């Protein structure tokens, strides 16, 4: 392989890595929403894998059944994070044209995998 070809490959790899970095930063500004209990608990997460808000309807707050509320929050949170990860995966797939490129960071870095 010539030095020119190697240089071209390295420049392309750097460009792809820069684009992935930009996409990750942009993903942090995008949000998804998930609900549990028929909309009694709603959680919003961003593409950075962070919960950004939780809304709880007054009707679901029962001091005698705290476990149900905890379960609803957990279910809505997990679904919101799953949707956020799916959103980022779809964006990343567009960037890499569906190729799995090891070592270029991406989603694992965002979601701790």
Residues contacting 32, CB < 8 A, separation 6+: 44, 45, 46, 47, 80, 83, 84, 87
Domains contained in the chain, number: 1
Report the alpha-carbon distance of residue 109 to residue 20 in Å, rounded. 11
pLDDT of residue 99: 63
Non-local (6+) Cβ contacts of 39 within 8 A are: 57
How much is the pLDDT for 111?
Answer: 52
pTM confidence score: 0.73
In the prediction, which pLDDT does 108 show?
47
Q: What is the arrangement of strands in the sheet containing 31-36, beginning at the earlier edge strand?
A: 31-36, 41-46, 51-56
Unique residue bearing structure tokens 């490959």: 9
Domain containing residue 71: 3-111
- In a structure prediction context, what are the per-residue pLDDT tens digits for the chain, which is 113 residues long? 788 888 888 888 888 888 888 888 888 899 999 999 999 999 999 999 999 999 999 999 999 999 999 999 999 999 999 999 999 888 888 877 766 655 544 444 455 44
| Predicted pLDDT at 89 | 86
Nearest to 71 by CA among 43, 107, 109: 43
Q: What is the CATH number of the domain that holds 32?
A: 3.30.1310.10
């Amino acid at each position: 392989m010539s030095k020119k070809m190697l240089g071209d490959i390295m420049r392309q790899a750097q460009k792809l890595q820069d684009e992935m970095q930009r996409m990750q930063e942009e993903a942090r500004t995008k949000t998804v929403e998930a609900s549990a209990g028929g909309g009694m608990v709603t959680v919003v997460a961003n593409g950075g894998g962070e919960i950004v808000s939780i809304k709880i309807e007054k009707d679901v707050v029962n001091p005698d059944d705290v476990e149900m509320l905890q379960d609803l929050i957990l279910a809505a949170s997990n679904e919101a994070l799953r949707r956020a990860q799916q959103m980022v995966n779809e964006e990343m797939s567009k960037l890499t044209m569906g190729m799995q490129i090891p070592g270029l960071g991406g989603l694992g870095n965002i979601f701790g995998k």
